[in-house]
């Protein structure tokens, strides 16, 4: 039994059951050109992966049987919450994809003073769903079974109104200030979870960074070079996770 294709499926996947895949999963299986008798790996974003065999293929339907379950063996125990001043357009898509591949636990998109993209209402919800779909695809591609939580975009003040310090979470803010200490000076000693605050193009304003410091965030630097807004947090994730 060998499964090379990975497909995300919503809902429970009882071992031994016969399951009709949802519309999105059906499209994925058809693109992969799977045939009856072939094996694939299913995951529902919660824990572990399921080996399944294709029983029937139709134009708009696929029926599989769940054969076995394997618990998570690749998910990191380090929880990382990325709070991100949204970069514009495709850069946020790229960030969600790569952060998911690296093992981020949660992403909260923020609208800061220098954020170009402003979202609210239905537009914000549609973009959240779009990013969640990107995270699902990144998990399918990378072999990750737990899909990170992608929050709807939030205003700067709204996020701080619900922020609560947690002794189990170490908060850091990426800073361009000369007084910020290198991230590498802290990362070896961090044992628990991390909340990482990062700005959009142009970074956080001095007032925004000062507010983060007041709330207990430690300013950290990634060195003498100014990295793109979508690159900087990925450096931290790659070193930390």
> What percent of the chain has pLDDT above 90?
63
> Is position 75 within any domain?
no
> Is position 16 within any domain?
yes
Q: What is the pLDDT of residue 98?
A: 97
pLDDT digit string (tens) for 141-181?
888 999 999 999 999 999 999 998 888 899 999 999 988 99
Are 31 and 108 in the same domain? no
Are 148 and 199 in the same domain? yes
**C-alpha to C-alpha distance for 27 and 215, rounded to whole angstroms:** 46
Are 152 and 217 in the same domain? yes
Residue 1 scores a pLDDT above 70 = no
Q: What is the pLDDT of residue 3?
A: 54
Are 97 and 173 in the same domain? yes
Count CB-CB contacts under 10 A for residue 18.
12
Domain count, the chain: 2
Find where tokens 């007041």 sit: 214
Instruction: Work out whether strand 106-111 and strand 154-155 pair parallel, antiparallel, or are unpaired.
Output: parallel
Residue 241's pLDDT band, with cuts at 50, 70 and 90, is confident
Of 42, 70, 98, the residue at which a domain comes to its end is 70
Q: What is the mean pLDDT of residues 72-89?
A: 85
pTM of the model: 0.87
* Domain span at 48: 5-70
Of 49, 70, 91, the residue at which a domain comes to its end is 70
Residue 233 scores a pLDDT above 70 = yes
**C-alpha to C-alpha distance for 125 and 151, rounded to whole angstroms:** 9
Q: What is the mean pLDDT of residues 53-78?
A: 87
Q: Domain with 22 in it: what CATH number? A: 2.40.240.20
pLDDT digit string (tens) for 8-63?
998 889 999 999 998 888 888 888 888 999 999 999 988 789 999 999 988 889 99
């Amino acid at each position: 039994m060998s499964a090379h294709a990975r497909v995300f499926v919503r809902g429970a996947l009882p071992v031994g059951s016969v399951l009709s895949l949802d519309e999105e999963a059906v499209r994925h299986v058809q693109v992969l050109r799977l045939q009856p008798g072939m094996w694939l790996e299913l995951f529902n974003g919660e824990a572990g992966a399921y080996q399944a065999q294709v029983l029937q293929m139709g134009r708009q339907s696929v029926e599989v049987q769940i054969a076995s379950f394997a618990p998570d063996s690749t998910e990191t125990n380090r929880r990382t919450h990325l709070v991100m001043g949204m970069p514009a357009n495709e850069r946020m898509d790229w960030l969600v994809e790569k952060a998911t591949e690296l093992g981020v636990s949660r992403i909260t998109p923020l609208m800061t003073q220098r954020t170009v993209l402003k979202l609210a209402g239905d537009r914000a919800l549609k973009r959240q769903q779009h990013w969640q779909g990107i995270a699902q695809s990144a998990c399918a591609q990378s072999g990750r079974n737990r899909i990170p939580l992608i929050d709807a975009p939030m205003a700067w003040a709204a996020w701080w109104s619900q922020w609560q310090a947690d002794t189990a979470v170490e908060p850091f803010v990426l800073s361009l200030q000369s007084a910020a200490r290198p991230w590498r000076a802290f990362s070896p000693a961090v044992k628990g979870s991390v909340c990482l605050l990062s700005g959009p193009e142009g970074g956080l304003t001095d007032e925004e960074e000062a507010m983060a410091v007041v709330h207990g965030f430690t300013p950290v630097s990634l060195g003498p070079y100014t990295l793109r807004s979508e690159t900087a947090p990925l450096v931290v994730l790659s070193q930390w996770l």
